[in-house]
Structure 1
């Protein structure tokens, strides 16, 4: 998977700045614990930290192309290209010679063959940078769905880039500033493409190329969603989806290191796990290994809430029995979730005070436990965005609202709880409702038209687009940061662009042909799953229901208020914090109340550790 970073300066000899370039590379050690490399030239420094997945001996980076003693290009690459074997054969037929069996070299040779058009040939998840020594030009490329992150920071004489903001911030040329727009983006829960929260920093948009040379920075979209007529009936649609999933999972099982599946007992993860189990059996490669997260006493004392109607464990075990998986439950307690060291590691992984507390911490701990057994995991992430699984897809009020549907009438524990604590004058000046409205109009303007489409079908296309270009980025970023913080590669089969393109154009009436959510996916997986799992109603990622967790959260917030030295005090209203932190302050089981305290504690820690200048 790996972590990448680099520095281009057209007026400075960066061979004399190796220490700074090395410091940038060192921040990516968690993403690449197996190896490291740093390549420098007069105007470029390219860093890499490696998590070895394919061709463990031959895939070292940065990788330099060697053509008869010339070095035309250098690549630092993160991710996986699942069609690299076919591309390798094609490139050999075109006269290219390979020194390794890695997909990294395929990407490098693809650049030498097709230039910046190489991305259109790739199927996978990736973020990479290529320094072309011939033209002294840097090319930054991100995969179509934005599974792998990539940031850049223009400077007066070039650019800094990295897999995560921390790599860029390790260079003294990058200022640690949060302005009003960045603060709105942090609080807004809208994930605007290209916005990176830190002032002056940008995120390469999914499906985008960024070129940097002496004339400046130019951007180009090489992929985006398009609208097309869908001519398949229900039966053909289901058959096509199943065929795509079979091929996708087979490709994503390729690995030279131990691989497993993440299992929640829901339709999405169960489908991926069952497909993996079937494929491994058919290839006589043994049984699939699976992992799930649970909390001490969660199943025994589970209480249905607004978003979760059932605990995961019974459905997980039903699926495990059905496919014969080698399964492990990772069971966490509140002490682990509230461990200061763990919470600090989560903040450093995020680089931002997202403030969703145990939902990040438990995912981090799950991935950390998995990493002791496997290096690669398959996830069911993104199926809800692709097939329309969230409850607000089916809520008339949310569908008809003139805003992002996930912000309507929902108790979203993922929203940054700090918003509820802001000082009134600051909240007024920031105008978060206005910011969200502007970003919503911007997103709607991008939705590709389908001639003749109107009414409800048109609206559901808009909502699908909002999820596939905004909401999914929130979850993919969380998944990437928590997994790469412990050196675990997580693959997301439902983000294969072929599947996304096809299902995006399936009419909503077909997507819900049986009157339920994710009808097409359920039908495509019908022969793979036990009926209890197949018919289970969507239940989001779990959050602990242990009252002791909330008690400790409130105690820590009250202690911070007593100390009176929080750098967050200039942003939040202490009386609002106190109202949530007191033992009688609201329902401790209300996730939005919990999120407010999580947000306050994490904002305080972030301002202390990251030394951010606040310009709001």
Structure 2
């Protein structure tokens, strides 16, 4: 895993612009702590920061293949899990390899197949290739959008990078957030292709962007499509099990220490059990990590978190025999302004997941002391229909993003409470934004003619989760992990699995009357019964009132200092909530504390130019 960046200019000699490229590349240092490289030609400049995972000695970048018609140079982030098969095919086509890295396979694959290489890759990847044979830049992003990739057109070319901060480091780019950008910030919905910063775009998942003297073009090489599902339930369950076994085995390939993130829930336990079995067969022992919290008082279950993770994780560890580590966090770490600054800086944007970002960052930082690569159960809920709101009729019937409806919102509400209502309802018109984005999303949903209305509705449910909510979660996972130089792989995002499960009927996805019926049946034989039958619990949060007290104190200080972040909130409501007893702070107010502190940090760190109309 790495950080990539580049600059294409058809009217300049970029061999004289090394300082600007170096500044862009330096912003990616956390993504690639092991090495740095640049490559400059007259009209192309590529930068790379490397996190060495495969072929530690031979995978340096940018990597170049010289051809009779000109050089082909690449800066690449990610992993191609089928690189062994692709290398064998390329050898048969006459290619000779100097390294054992997947990077060289991807580069020579492009030399052989051009942009059609994207159709052949299995993995997570974001790459920029300068094709000196045609003076063309090719940007390719993986199908589900696991790895980020941004670009910003200029008058004579384009700037690109793994993160917005790489592009913002260039003197041609002003850090402007306009009204549409603010809608993306406050709307809790991720629009594919939107990058929040004015003039900047995100390469959409499953897309190729090409840039040459004729301009910029985008081609979507993959999207969810409808195929008839002919397998019965038993065959479907068996095929899912076979896919998962192949996926996990492929994603265990690394030349550095590897582990699994284990919550004790169905998704992470399935991956841990599969990884433990595969590693045991090759004479190795899997390693697992669980996050937990130091706190006062007993755990109090609620509708989203019915049980603590740690006891179930221990049961799974005893069952499969991993080398296990509990990472325990306390309220002081979670509330540390330095940690918040690190997470907001990593995101480039405010309004992430607050405490959940902080805890994930701290978890990944602790894991990085032991491992360089981790497997995560992210996206299983989106693929298999695991969230509680998937199964609530009131949410199913609402013509709105399900997670928005499930937050108990009415047209005048918002998941981040205590924000200035005039800003939300008048300046930004968040209800109108939601309605427009939702209509655009469901208009894309494929489906056969004559589909049962309920099956159609649930297909829309699955589609918007996979194309909007998943993007937010993958972005969070990528930013928090790469901020500490940890590569996180997400096996449930394998496009073969996503395609297959997307096309199974909803009635089959819930054939036993529960969430994630197909996944549970596919892996039940690998898990303790208590883990296999555990109800879904969302990512844990601390229940320690001292954490809330710390937030209240920080918000009170922010209000006393008249920080401009408070201008976007209801100051009186914030002041009242910050002055009350911590045990009386409502969830809405706690979320507002997180948002206003994130916003203040972002304004201080990034210093954006805000232009609202």
TM-score band, normalised by the shorter chain? over 0.9
Give the SS at the match of 2:406: coil
The match for 2:429 is 431
In the alignment, does 2:57 pair up with 1:57? yes
Counterpart CA distance in 2 for 1:499 and 1:556 is 45
The answer as to whether partners of 2:423 and 2:568 remain within 8 angstroms in 1 is: no
Counterpart CA distance in 2 for 1:472 and 1:210 is 22
Give the SS at the match of 1:66: strand
Q: 2:604 aligns with which of 595, 608, 611?
A: 608
How many angstroms does 1:72 deviate by? 2.4
In the alignment, does 2:251 pair up with 1:255? no
How many residue pairs get matched? 609
Q: Map 1:171-250; keep pairs closer than 5 Å.
A: 171-250=170-249
Give the SS at the match of 1:220: strand
How many angstroms does 1:219 deviate by? 0.3
Give the SS at the match of 1:487: coil
The answer as to whether partners of 1:580 and 1:586 remain within 8 angstroms in 2 is: no
How many angstroms does 1:340 deviate by? 1.7
How many angstroms does 1:42 deviate by? 1.0
Give the SS at the match of 1:15: helix
The match for 2:523 is 525
Counterpart CA distance in 1 for 2:583 and 2:572 is 14
Counterpart CA distance in 2 for 1:272 and 1:418 is 33
Change (3 A) 1:360 1:411: farther
How many angstroms does 1:585 deviate by? 8.3
In the alignment, does 2:597 pair up with 1:598? no
- The gaps in structure 1 that reach 5 residues or longer are none
The match for 1:440 is 438
Change (3 A) 1:303 1:533: same
The match for 1:37 is 37
Change (3 A) 1:426 1:235: closer
The answer as to whether partners of 1:586 and 1:593 remain within 8 angstroms in 2 is: no
How many angstroms does 1:71 deviate by? 4.5
Counterpart CA distance in 2 for 1:212 and 1:66 is 21
Change (3 A) 1:416 1:7: farther
How many angstroms does 1:36 deviate by? 0.6
In the alignment, does 2:555 pair up with 1:536? no
How many angstroms does 1:607 deviate by? 1.2
In the alignment, does 2:444 pair up with 1:484? no
The match for 2:152 is 153
In the alignment, does 2:373 pair up with 1:376? yes
Q: Map 1:39-188; keep pairs closer than 5 Å.
A: 39-67=39-67, 71-188=70-187
In the alignment, does 2:407 pair up with 1:410? yes
Counterpart CA distance in 2 for 1:353 and 1:417 is 15
How many angstroms does 1:584 deviate by? 4.8
Q: Map 1:301-312; keep pairs closer than 5 Å.
A: 301-312=298-309
How many angstroms does 1:569 deviate by? 4.0
String of CA shifts for 1:24-74, please: whole Å, max 9, x gaps: 000000000000101111111100000000000000000001347x65210
The match for 1:351 is 348
The match for 2:336 is 339
Give the SS at the match of 2:526: coil
Change (3 A) 1:425 1:34: closer
How many angstroms does 1:417 deviate by? 6.0
Change (3 A) 1:357 1:325: same
- The gaps in structure 2 that reach 5 residues or longer are none
String of CA shifts for 1:89-139, please: whole Å, max 9, x gaps: 000000111111100000100101101100000000000000011111100
The answer as to whether partners of 1:382 and 1:472 remain within 8 angstroms in 2 is: yes
Q: 1:329 aligns with which of 326, 329, 335?
A: 326
The answer as to whether partners of 1:417 and 1:598 remain within 8 angstroms in 2 is: no
How many angstroms does 1:408 deviate by? 1.0
Counterpart CA distance in 2 for 1:611 and 1:90 is 50
Counterpart CA distance in 2 for 1:212 and 1:233 is 46
Change (3 A) 1:71 1:444: same
Counterpart CA distance in 1 for 2:457 and 2:423 is 36
The answer as to whether partners of 2:292 and 2:310 remain within 8 angstroms in 1 is: yes
String of CA shifts for 1:245-266, please: whole Å, max 9, x gaps: 0000000000000000000000
When the two chains are superposed, the root-mean-square deviation of aligned CA atoms in Å is 1.5
How many angstroms does 1:283 deviate by? 1.7
How many angstroms does 1:419 deviate by? 5.5
The answer as to whether partners of 1:151 and 1:204 remain within 8 angstroms in 2 is: yes
String of CA shifts for 1:446-481, please: whole Å, max 9, x gaps: 001212312111111110000111111111000000
Counterpart CA distance in 1 for 2:47 and 2:144 is 24
String of CA shifts for 1:423-466, please: whole Å, max 9, x gaps: 52564121000001000000011001212312111111110000
In the alignment, does 2:497 pair up with 1:499? yes
The match for 2:554 is 556
Counterpart CA distance in 1 for 2:552 and 2:335 is 12
Give the SS at the match of 1:197: coil
Counterpart CA distance in 1 for 2:574 and 2:474 is 30
How many angstroms does 1:586 deviate by? 8.5
The match for 1:395 is 392
